[in-house]
Amino acid sequence: MSRLRIFDHDAPDAPILSTTDRAAIAAELERIGVAFEQWEAAQPVRPGDPPEAIMAAYRADIDRLVEANGFRSVDVVSIAPDNPNREAMRAKFLDEHAHKEDEVRFFVAGSGLFSLHVGDKVFEVLCEAGDLIAVPDGATHWFDMGPEPSFVAIRFFTEPDGWIGHFTGSDIAQKFPRYE
């Protein structure tokens, strides 16, 4: 179940707010400029389906986002718990960073944990199948796919090099719960 927890950035053990209500999640995230939507497939899809079938199932929503935001490429990424590079992949974005373009992800299957550091708050968003999150460019955040990652996601890009992480050097991400 999708979840939002909001913390004071100095109190990682005491959420100020915790909700699984998708409308409340979307409303809270909208206040900080983060989009949160739910999509439904036009036809059944499952992990292991080819990227073309997955994209076809969400074509209307994909086209709407591409037109509204000028994305130049869209792809499908799939990570399984038995991936031999899972530890390195997980570690890659566990530290606070930002990107030069929006980070837009739609979870077809599985889940991942986005944590956004905005002002003196941390917004922890557990995204699950059916969830789209759009983190604005420049927003400091970190992403945890867990020790046994399992997800299929549609990713949206404006520029090929826009999704490079620019790390802040802060240790804040180590103070907050991991996705276990």
- Phi, psi at residue 68, to the nearest 5°? -70, -30
Tell whether 46 is covered by a domain. yes
Tell whether 157 is covered by a domain. yes
Tell whether 155 is covered by a domain. yes
Tell whether 18 is covered by a domain. yes
Q: What is the pLDDT of residue 48?
A: 86
Taking only the tens of pLDDT, the chain with its 180 residues reads: 999 999 999 999 999 999 999 999 999 999 999 999 999 999 999 878 999 999 999 999 999 999 999 999 999 999 999 999 999 999 999 999 999 999 999 999 999 999 999 999 999 999 999 999 999 999 999 999 999 999 999 999 998 666 788 999 999 999 999 999
Q: What is the pLDDT of residue 159?
A: 84
Q: Which domain holds residue 115?
A: 3-164
Q: Are 76 and 51 in contact (CB under 8 A)?
A: yes
Burial class, 110, CB count within 10 angstroms (exposed 0-12 / middle 13-18 / buried 19+): buried
Q: What is the pLDDT of residue 128?
A: 97
- The closest of 144, 145, 125 to 135, measured between CA atoms, is 125
Q: What is the pLDDT of residue 8?
A: 98
Q: What is the pLDDT of residue 37?
A: 98
Tell whether 170 is covered by a domain. no
Tell whether 132 is covered by a domain. yes
Domain count, the chain: 1
Tell whether 171 is covered by a domain. no
Tell whether 174 is covered by a domain. no
Q: What is the pLDDT of residue 87?
A: 94
CATH number at residue 75: 2.60.120.10
pLDDT per residue as tens digits for the range 96-141: 999 999 999 999 999 999 999 999 999 999 999 999 999 999 999 9
- How far, in Å, CA of 44 to CA of 162, rounded? 32
- How far, in Å, CA of 178 to CA of 125, rounded? 12
- The closest of 15, 17, 40, 37 to 26, measured between CA atoms, is 37
- How far, in Å, CA of 101 to CA of 118, rounded? 17
